[in-house]
Structure 1
Amino acid sequence: MIVIAKEPVAGRVKTRLTPPYTPAEAAALAGAALADTLHAVLGMPARRRVLALDGAPGPWLPPGIEVVPQGGGGLDERLAAAFAGCQGPTLLVGMDTPQITPVLLAPVLGRGGWRDCDAWFGPAADGGFWALGLAEPDPELLRGVPMSTPTTGAAQRRRLVDAGLRVRELPVLRDVDTADDAAWVAALAPGSRFARTLAGLSRAAAR
């Protein structure tokens, strides 16, 4: 499994959360989301667990996660580089969906997850995608796909289908990009670090 993420540094992550949150608060939410994601990955039956990181590891990094630097270029190039370092069935997720659980991803990682299947695709509610799994990682399946647009998910899925891959779908999830997204995701995962961090910020603002 691969998690692709940025180091949660104020002013560099979750900038669409500001306002209403400050850059430091947005970074705290990003760090909580990343920690939740990495701990979920630790509970999954993966042979290798990798964090492709833009930045430096911090206290949010649990033991058992291998850290590799992200490649350069646009997001399509960085995703491609993450897959280039892998062999065998590989599932990549981002840091924007702290609501993921081993149960949610069990269809991919469980017995028979790759039988008669070449790719897994997790569409995001904003038109992007939150997960991409490839039975045989091929960076060229990502290079050149327009990223961060309302049609990114459709374009990426079409790239898979046009390559002749048999694609299975994961549920549509909502990324944390805006304050409304944050509240929605926290309600779905009330016991998460993300939800606790958001609740703490809300209590502080109410004082």
Structure 2
Amino acid sequence: MSAEASPTLRLAVLAKAPVRGRVKTRLIPALGAEAATRLHERLLRRTLAVALATASAERITLWTALDHAHPLFRTLADRHGFRLAPQPEGDLGVRMHHALSAEPGPGLLVGSDCPVLTPALLKRCWTALATAEAVCLPAEDGGYALIGARSSDPALFAGIDWGTGRVMAQTHERARALGWRLASPAMVWDLDRPQDVARLAARDDFTL
């Protein structure tokens, strides 16, 4: 565990195996399938490095998809000691609720598409759960890059138009219906579109 890692923070990471042609599909026309797959793997590795700098490995669960037995998953788990678990069938909301509800207490959940995620941001979100029932990192495209809850409720994820710019607004509506306070410590951006690749290339902390 990093000297700066929180001994209490629990983190779930949704991760697709780097299967050529099945990841970063919106980037394939611009990058090609092979380069898009390599980029996906680099983003996943970066996300896990941020996770390990924030939480102890035994409190991190990597929820796998596409190929649960992919060698990358096993290699990373063996090296770092976090737990592997298969994502269940169902839409994104079902899978996120399942991952959060598997935590024995409050937890955070992230994907691997946010290149600006940092340990400091994760810790801010974890701290927010002391005064809010749920927390999000809204993304510029109208979705979110992180969600966390003291105790997950399937209603928070029900009827959401996943993959659209309405996700964050609809999530606020679900939280209000539950009577929950939804904290949003910062705005971030995801890497989903060709123009995002140029934005990433301009950063000093990530080389393509």
Q: TM-score, normalised by structure 2?
A: 0.84
Secondary structure of the equivalent of 1:133? strand
Which residue pairs with 2:104 in the alignment? 87
1:29 aligns with 2:39: yes
Q: Verify the 8 A CA contact 1:11 1:23 in the aligned structure 2.
A: yes
Kindly report the root-mean-square deviation, in angstroms, between the aligned alpha carbons of the 2 structures.
1.8
1:71 aligns with 2:88: yes
1:154 aligns with 2:169: yes
Aligned residues: 191
Change (3 A) 1:109 1:80: closer
- Report matched runs for 1:1-207 at 5 Å: 1-45=11-55, 48-54=59-65, 55-56=67-68, 57-59=70-72, 61=76, 63-110=80-127, 113-188=128-203, 190-191=204-205, 195-196=206-207, 198=208
Q: CA deviation at 1:186?
A: 4.1
What is the one-letter code of the residue matched to 1:93? V
Structure 1 unmatched runs, 5+: 199-207
Structure 2 unmatched runs, 5+: 1-10
Using the TM superposition, name which of 152-161 and 178-187 deviates more. 178-187
Offset from partner CA, 1:54-89 (integer Å, 9 cap, x none): 023433735132111001021122112212311211
Q: TM-score, normalised by structure 1?
A: 0.85
What is the one-letter code of the residue matched to 2:194? A
